[in-house]
């Protein structure tokens, strides 16, 4: 029932976290879309302003050139005549070469200027020239029309308009300035076509959209005798602009999504790890319980035999049963010590007391005292040609570590004699003890787990009694000494365990 409730809680938590992730992702996606739409609006406004500004700059230039040209006395004559009916001066701009030709002069009056043009008064003529040029700008240039008020002035205007015609080279810095004012720093280009829709109804090639996903509205260029009649601005992906606008809010959302996702994954990994640990602990409890029951049952049977069947009257039988009981109780005591050691190891409370230790003597002594199954023999080779024999280690825990490895090599050997090869080497200020056996070996998918507490290889080895703590205990001892462990193995070819001790 508890396991079922736990599964329900896990499922509910997973669904809740997944919903939070989906909602957060949906919000971020929508927020991104809103800012992308804002970007499109901003670049369209900037492009329109840039076109107007670029055109205005061209008009300013042509206006100034017209005013200067009107001051050329070899081309034009600026005169005035009093009009009594209107009570004001009428100013005439005439072709200097053909002043009486009806198509070569133009007359105008100004509301705020009513002064006669005197011979030699170039300052006042300059005022008239500038005002006349301004009128031509507002009436002609800004409406993309050239009126031939005088033939030579009309021709001059046409030449200057063609000279200062629409050009993307002049438009680019202007648009860049307006984009900078809006905080937009996205690569852009221009798209010129002979025909286009100013209502933005055009369809574009996919390759173009892949490179420039944002395309502004179309505007006329008013270029003369050219196929470049319409222009658009093309922009690359606005991701950096959107990120810059959203700032900490967008970053916070991304971080929140990442944290929630990481928490969910971490929670699931912890739950799976706990489930696996629970399984191996149950296996451990089953094994240790069985090992407790065996000596208890044997000792109980011996004591029961002593209390009946007249055994006490037979000294030899009494001694035999007492010996059996003592042996089983000794086994039980050993198991109790092992369980207590496991508890201390689990709490991580064991302390090491390093001292100079001769590994040659210790390892060879342990190998000499190792026991194998009756009828089998232990063959071992020990090789240390490094010239280094002394390490600083806790003698008791060093013996525990080596004994665990030698014991594993014996227990998991193939049927028959046991062969162990121990080689000593030095690398990067570590003394490396390599213990190689020719046992059954370990599969590659089990190797990363063999140093975990209570883990036992699931197949092929459970005919051997064990608790899944040996290698974990060894690793902990070596790491407490500032070293490291590494295992290499192949099924059917044996296992090599490397223990590195600081020197």
Q: pLDDT per residue over 264-289, tens digit each?
A: 778 777 777 777 667 666 666 666 66
Predicted confidence (pLDDT) per residue in 164-192, tens digit = 999 999 999 999 999 999 888 889 999 99
Report d(CA 160, CA 63) in Å as an integer.
Answer: 10
Within 8 A by CB and 6+ apart from 221, the residues are 166, 192, 228, 229, 230, 231
Q: Tell me the Ramachandran region of residue 428: left when phi exceeds 0, alpha when psi lies from -120 to 50, beta otherwise.
A: left
Section 77-99 average pLDDT: 87
User: What number of helices (H) and strands (E) belong to the chain?
Assistant: 10, 14
The confidence score (pLDDT) of residue 348 equals 54
Count Cβ neighbours within 10 Å for each residue of 168-184 and write b for 16 or more, e otherwise: beebbebbeebbeeeeb
The rounded percent of the chain whose pLDDT value lies above 70 is 81
Predicted confidence band of residue 2 (pLDDT cuts 50, 70, 90): very low
Section 253-265 average pLDDT: 75
- The DSSP symbol for 110 reads B
The confidence score (pLDDT) of residue 290 equals 59
Please say if the pLDDT value at position 349 is more than 70: no
> Beta strands 378-384 and 418-427: pairing type?
parallel
Section 324-353 average pLDDT: 65
- The DSSP symbol for 313 reads G
Please say if the pLDDT value at position 388 is more than 60: yes
Task: Give the gyration radius of the chain's Cα atoms.
Answer: 49
The confidence score (pLDDT) of residue 461 equals 43
Q: pTM for this one?
A: 0.50
Residue 353 burial (CB count, 10 A): 9
Report d(CA 37, CA 354) in Å as an integer.
Answer: 69
Fold of 242-347: Helix Hairpins (1.10.287)
The confidence score (pLDDT) of residue 51 equals 95
The larger pLDDT score, comparing residue 106 to residue 392, is at 392
Q: What is the end-to-end Cα distance of the chain in Å, rounded?
A: 55
The larger pLDDT score, comparing residue 341 to residue 212, is at 212
Domain boundary assignment for the chain: 242-347, 355-502
The confidence score (pLDDT) of residue 342 equals 57
- The domain 355-502 is placed in CATH, from the list 3.30.565.10, 3.30.2010.30, 2.30.130.10, 3.30.2010.10, at 3.30.565.10
The confidence score (pLDDT) of residue 224 equals 77
Q: What own/partner pairs with CB < 8 Å and gap ≥ 24 does 350-355 have?
A: 350/397, 350/480, 352/393, 352/394, 352/397, 352/477, 352/480, 352/481, 353/394, 354/392, 354/393, 354/394, 354/481, 355/392, 355/393, 355/394, 355/395
Predicted confidence (pLDDT) per residue in 424-444, tens digit = 999 988 999 999 998 888 888
Section 127-139 average pLDDT: 91
* Per-chain mean pLDDT for the chain: 81
Report d(CA 485, CA 503) in Å as an integer.
Answer: 15
Residue entry with tokens 């062969």:
419
The larger pLDDT score, comparing residue 402 to residue 267, is at 402
- The DSSP symbol for 314 reads -
């Amino acid at each position: 029932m508890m396991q079922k409730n736990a599964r329900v809680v896990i499922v509910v938590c997973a669904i809740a976290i997944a919903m939070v992730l989906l909602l957060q992702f949906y919000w971020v996606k929508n927020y991104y879309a809103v800012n992308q739409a804002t970007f499109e609006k901003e670049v369209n406004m900037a492009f329109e302003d840039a076109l107007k500004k670029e055109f205005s700059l061209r008009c300013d230039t042509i206006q100034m050139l017209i005013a200067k040209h009107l001051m050329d006395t070899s081309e034009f004559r600026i005169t005035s005549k009093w009009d009594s009916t209107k009570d004001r001066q009428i100013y005439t701009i005439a072709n200097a070469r053909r002043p009486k030709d009806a198509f070569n002069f133009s007359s105008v009056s100004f509301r705020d200027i009513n002064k006669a043009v005197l011979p030699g008064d170039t300052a006042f003529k300059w005022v008239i020239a500038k005002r006349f040029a301004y009128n031509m700008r507002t009436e002609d240039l800004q409406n993309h029309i050239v009126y031939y008020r005088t033939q030579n002035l009309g021709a001059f205007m046409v030449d200057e308009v063609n000279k200062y015609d629409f050009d993307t080279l002049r438009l680019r810095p202007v648009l860049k300035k307006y984009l900078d004012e809006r905080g937009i720093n996205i690569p852009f280009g221009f798209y010129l076509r002979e025909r286009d829709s100013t209502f933005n109804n055009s369809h574009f090639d996919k390759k173009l959209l892949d490179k420039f996903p944002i395309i502004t509205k179309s505007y006329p260029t008013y270029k003369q005798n050219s196929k470049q009649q319409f222009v658009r601005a093309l922009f690359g992906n606005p991701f950096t602009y959107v990120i810059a606008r959203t700032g900490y809010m967008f970053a916070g959302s991304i971080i929140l999504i990442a944290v929630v996702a990481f928490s969910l994954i971490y929670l699931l990994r912890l739950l799976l790890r706990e489930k696996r640990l629970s399984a191996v602990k149950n296996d451990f409890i089953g094994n240790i319980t069985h090992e407790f029951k065996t000596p208890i049952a044997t000792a109980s049977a011996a004591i029961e035999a002593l209390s009946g069947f007249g055994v006490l009257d037979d000294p030899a039988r009494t001694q035999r049963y007492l010996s059996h009981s003592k042996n089983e109780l000794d086994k039980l005591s050993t198991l109790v010590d092992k369980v207590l050691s496991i508890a201390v190891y689990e709490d991580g409370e064991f302390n090491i007391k390093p001292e100079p230790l001769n590994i040659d003597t210790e390892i060879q002594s342990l190998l000499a005292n190792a026991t194998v199954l009756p009828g089998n023999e232990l063959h071992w080779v020990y090789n240390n040609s490094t010239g280094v024999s002394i390490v600083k280690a806790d003698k008791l825990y060093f013996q525990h570590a080596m004994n665990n490895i030698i014991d594993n090599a014996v227990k998991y050997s193939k049927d028959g004699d046991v062969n162990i090869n121990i080689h000593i080497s030095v690398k990067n200020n570590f003394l490396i003890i390599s213990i190689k056996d020719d046992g059954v070996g370990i599969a590659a998918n089990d190797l990363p787990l063999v140093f975990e507490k209570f883990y036992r290889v699931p197949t092929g080895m459970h005919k051997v009694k064990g608790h899944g703590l040996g290698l974990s205990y060894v690793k902990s001892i070596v790491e407490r000494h500032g070293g490291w462990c590494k295992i290499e193995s192949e099924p059917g070819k044996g296992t090599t365990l490397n223990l590195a001790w600081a020197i």
